Structure 1
Amino acid sequence: MPPALLDRRLSIAPMMDWTDRHCRAFHRALTGRALLYTEMVTAPAVIHGDRERLLGFDAVEHPVALQLGGSDPVQLAEAARIGAAFGYDEINLNVGCPSDRVQSGRFGACLMREPELVADCMAAIIEAVDVPATVKCRIGVDDQDPAESLFATVDASARAGVSTFIIHARKAWLKGLSPKENRDVPPLDYALVRRLKRERPHLSISINGGIASLDEAEAHLDSADGVQLDGVMLGRAAYHEPAILGQADRRLFGDAGPDIDAFAALERYRPYMAARLAEGVGLASMTRHMLGLMHGRPGARAFRRILTVDAIRPGAGLEVVDRAADAVREAESRRDDAA
Structure 2
Amino acid sequence: MSTITTATGHLSARRFSVAPMMDWTDRHCRYFHRQLSRHALLFTEMVTSAAVVHGDRERLLGFEPVEHPVALQLGGSDPAELAEATRIGAGFGYDEINLNVGCPSDRVQSGRFGACLMAEPGLVAECVRAMRGATDVPVTVKCRIGIDDQDTEESLDRFADHMVEAGVAALYVHARKAWLKGLSPKENRTIPPLDYPRVHRLAARLAPLPVCLNGGIDGIEAALAHLPAVSGVMLGRAAYQDPMLLGQVDSRFFGVSSPAPDLRAIIAAMADYAERQLGQGVRLNAITRHMLGLANGRPGARAFRQVLSVEAARRGAGPEVLWQALATLERHETVAA
- TM-score norm. by structure 2 comes to 0.95
Which residue does the alignment assign to 1:67?
A: 73
Which residue does the alignment assign to 1:123?
A: 129
Which residue does the alignment assign to 2:13?
A: 7
Matching of residues 183-202 of structure 1 within 5 Å: 183-202=189-208
State the 1:112 CA deviation.
0.5
Which residue does the alignment assign to 2:311?
A: 310
Residue aligned with 1:39, SS: strand
Consecutive unaligned residues of structure 1, counting only runs of 5 or more, are none
State the 1:300 CA deviation.
0.7
Retained in 2: the 8 A contact 1:122–1:162? yes
Residue aligned with 2:133, SS: helix
Residue aligned with 1:82, SS: helix
Which residue does the alignment assign to 2:146?
A: 140
Matching of residues 1-339 of structure 1 within 5 Å: 6-221=12-227, 223=228, 227=229, 229-336=230-337
State the 1:3 CA deviation.
8.8
Give the letter for the 2:57 counterpart: R
Paired with 1:144 and 1:200, the residues of 2 have a C-alpha distance of 20
State the 1:24 CA deviation.
0.4
Give the letter for the 1:12 counterpart: V
> Per-residue CA shift, 1:164-192, capped at 9, x if unaligned?
00000000000111011111121101001
Paired with 2:294 and 2:173, the residues of 1 have a C-alpha distance of 27
Retained in 1: the 8 A contact 2:299–2:329? yes
Paired with 1:103 and 1:73, the residues of 2 have a C-alpha distance of 17
Residue aligned with 2:222, SS: helix
Aligned identity (percent) is 61
Aligned pair in 2 of structure 1 residues 4, 234: CA closer, same or farther (>3 Å)? Answer: closer
Give the letter for the 2:250 counterpart: D
- TM-score norm. by structure 1 comes to 0.95
Paired with 1:186 and 1:268, the residues of 2 have a C-alpha distance of 41
Aligned pair in 2 of structure 1 residues 303, 177: CA closer, same or farther (>3 Å)? Answer: same
Paired with 2:262 and 2:216, the residues of 1 have a C-alpha distance of 24
> Per-residue CA shift, 1:287-332, capped at 9, x if unaligned?
0000111111111111111111110112111111101111111111
State the 1:151 CA deviation.
1.2
Give the letter for the 1:95 counterpart: V
Paired with 1:50 and 1:324, the residues of 2 have a C-alpha distance of 34
Retained in 2: the 8 A contact 1:241–1:295? yes
State the 1:242 CA deviation.
0.5
Paired with 1:20 and 1:7, the residues of 2 have a C-alpha distance of 19
Give the letter for the 1:279 counterpart: Q
Paired with 1:297 and 1:308, the residues of 2 have a C-alpha distance of 17
Runs of 4+ in 1 over 3 A off after TM superposition: 2-6
Residue aligned with 2:35, SS: helix
State the 1:270 CA deviation.
2.9
Paired with 1:67 and 1:186, the residues of 2 have a C-alpha distance of 25
Give the letter for the 1:296 counterpart: G
Paired with 1:172 and 1:328, the residues of 2 have a C-alpha distance of 41
Consecutive unaligned residues of structure 2, counting only runs of 5 or more, are 6-11
Aligned pair in 2 of structure 1 residues 323, 188: CA closer, same or farther (>3 Å)? Answer: same
Give the letter for the 2:265 counterpart: A
Aligned pair in 2 of structure 1 residues 4, 258: CA closer, same or farther (>3 Å)? Answer: closer
